[in-house]
A = this chain, B = another copy of it.
């Protein structure tokens, strides 16, 4: 059965017989070794690909996938205080040292998708400004981040210019009189849409985190919806908490 082949290969990957980056036996070799048809071997390999363990490099063969996640911190933009020693160590361990960043910013005025409009309290037909950002690391697309703002509050502001805002879009919003005091984060885990897979150059077997952050002003008006798509094989999402009170935590 193909499951035997699949499991044997998976075991070899897990125990290091096949280390990261190593080449697997070719389809022909496996066909001969197990005495089965090629379709059977391909099914075994296909499942490993779908698990994200293996990448086919046509026509060179199959290779064990390497995983080099970067830390993604939803918290980073809010916090000014220093992080704890643990967080520092963790970030250092997964740092981007030596990798070359690049980003592309694009600004547009759109009628947002229904779920975005709902979060911004926009009526159907009302417009929003969107800053679309694609970020790259070492020439590899890393994540996409689209931030939506109600058009009437950011019109003619710095936010509409497709350039990097060093002090952050949140600071600009604050200067415009819409300082955010609260945010609601949602995180969905799913397989990418074909469009996302293309934009992020995702191989099969790579799920994504879909992160939606809605920022509110003190009078409970939503002024920003940030949508991020994070490839699972390139990220670890991390945040820190402190207990204000002795408290339970459960999932």
Closest residue of chain B to A80 (Cβ to Cβ) is B244
Partner of A236, one of B85, B188, B235: B188
Listed residue (A194, A208, A241) with the most chain B CB atoms within 10 angstroms of its CB: A241
Listed residue (A73, A84, A207) with the most chain B CB atoms within 10 angstroms of its CB: A207
Q: Are B77 and A238 in contact (CB under 8 A)?
A: no
Partner of A186, one of B76, B189, B238: B238
Chain A residues numbered 43-71 whose CB sits less than 8 Å from any CB in chain B: 50-52, 69
Partner of A244, one of B85, B226, B249: B249
Q: Report, nearest first, the 9 A-B pairs whose CB atoms are least far apart.
A: A207-B207, A189-B232, A241-B250, A168-B248, A187-B237, A244-B247, A183-B241, A51-B191, A189-B209
Q: Which residues of A contact B (CB under 8 A)?
A: 7, 10, 39, 50-52, 69, 72-81, 84-87, 90, 143, 145, 167-168, 170-171, 174, 179-191, 193-194, 204-205, 207-209, 211, 213-216, 220, 226, 228, 230, 232-233, 235-244, 246-251
